[in-house]
Amino acid sequence: MDTVVSGIRPTGNLHLGNYFGALRNFIKMQNENNCYFFIADYHSLTTHPTPADLHGNVKSVLIDYLAAGLNPEKATLYLQSDLPETAELYLFLNMNAYLGELERVTSFKDKARTQPDNINAGLLTYPTLMAADIIIHRAHKVPVGKDQEQHLEMTRTFANRFNRLYNVEYFPEPVAYNFGEELVKIPGLDGSTKMGKSEGEGNAIFLNDDAEVIRKKIMRAVTDSGPTQPNQPKSQPIENIFALMKALSKPETLAFFEEEYNNCRVRYGDMKKQLAEDVIAFTQPFRDKIKEIGSDDNYLQKVVKLGRDKAHESASKTIREVREIIGFKPF
Ligand code: TRP
């Protein structure tokens, strides 16, 4: 059975794009692999959150993931900061990570450009911390998107370097877990091709948005002035509305509006009304679960403790062996 590790950025509430992207696949993966999913709260310190923001974001991401179906009995679901072994391995890896290679990482260069007054060492060594997250469990697979490929390449470099330096075959080379066809890309409501929270208020539908908010956002979604001839190619904003319907509505509903569009009879107002009701029905179970879990601190405490214990079991073994390999031997 493969060991899988992935980190989740604690950036507030989840939207439908997150759900149809990584989250749904995490839920599938937990049945077939030895999965470690953690909330990357150490990493989030690179942007200097306040204590209240840090805790609030971690909590809401944890609640959303549980509500959406991550099962803490199947996967090991933990907080990165509950595993100080990660920080120790990060220290070891940093001794063999070179300034030149760290400075060349695209995400570092981007951050250095966008936040020139906060180019801290944590930002520079983001890839060594991420490598430590992964190899602390000696993972084989990492389910990440294209934007993380370079970080994963660095992880392989650091793992191999450790093996070579100490002449051991200790760390496996982790590879990207590719979802391929199973990834459904959810477009934004603003006519752009991607749903994301940084794209602005109203672009994304969050799992915890209530029915009224969902109706409002969808009714305001960007459309065009309508087709003027049969079978006219769709503009991007209209493609988007159809893509959302394809992901969330019944096939008959989609077929009906396709037909209406192709015959120039489509009324976008009606279409959006239908889409809104379908989105509300689809997300209702999430809202119910979020409410239930969010008000049950006892349950959350149990989940976090279970995750911490399971993660610790795996990580403490790695750290013990790594210390031996490096030469920190018990007297
Ligand atoms: N860098 C990842 C992101 O921005 C989050 C992350 C941190 C991660 N550590 C990880 C992902 C380890 C996979 C494995 O999304």
Note the helical H segments in 167-235.
Answer: 211-219
Q: What is the pLDDT of residue 145?
A: 83
CA of 26 relative to ligand 1 center, distance in Å: 14
Instruction: Map out the domains of the chain as residue ranges.
Output: 3-184+296-326, 197-291
> How many CB atoms are closer than 10 A to CB 198?
8
Q: 288 with 208: CB under 8 angstroms?
A: no
| Residue in 59, 74, 194, 317 annotated catalytic | 194
302 a catalytic residue? no
CA distance 97 to 159: 11
Helix axes 126-135, 149-166, angle to 10 degrees: 70
Tell me the per-residue pLDDT of 112-158, one tens digit each, with 9 for 90 and over: 999 999 999 999 999 999 999 999 999 999 998 888 999 999 999 99
Name which of 8-12, 177-181, 183-187, 297-301 the model is least confident about.
Answer: 177-181
Q: 127 with 154: CB under 8 angstroms?
A: yes
pLDDT surpasses 80 at 84: yes
Superfamily name with CATH number, domain 197-291: Tyrosyl-Transfer RNA Synthetase (1.10.240.10)
- Measuring from atom 13 of ligand 1, which residue has the nearest CA? 6
Q: What is the pLDDT of residue 21?
A: 86
Q: Which tokens is 144 given?
A: 């990440």
pTM of the model: 0.93
Local structure of residue 43 (DSSP, 8 states): G
| Residue in 28, 74, 109, 197 annotated catalytic | 197
Name which of 10-19, 37-46, 108-117 the model is least confident about.
Answer: 10-19
* Mean pLDDT over the full length of the chain: 95
Helix/strand/coil for 331: coil
Fold of the 3-184+296-326 domain:
Rossmann fold (3.40.50)
Main-chain dihedrals φ then ψ at residue 206, nearest 5 degrees: -90, 150
Name which of 67-71, 80-84, 101-105, 145-149 the model is least confident about.
Answer: 145-149
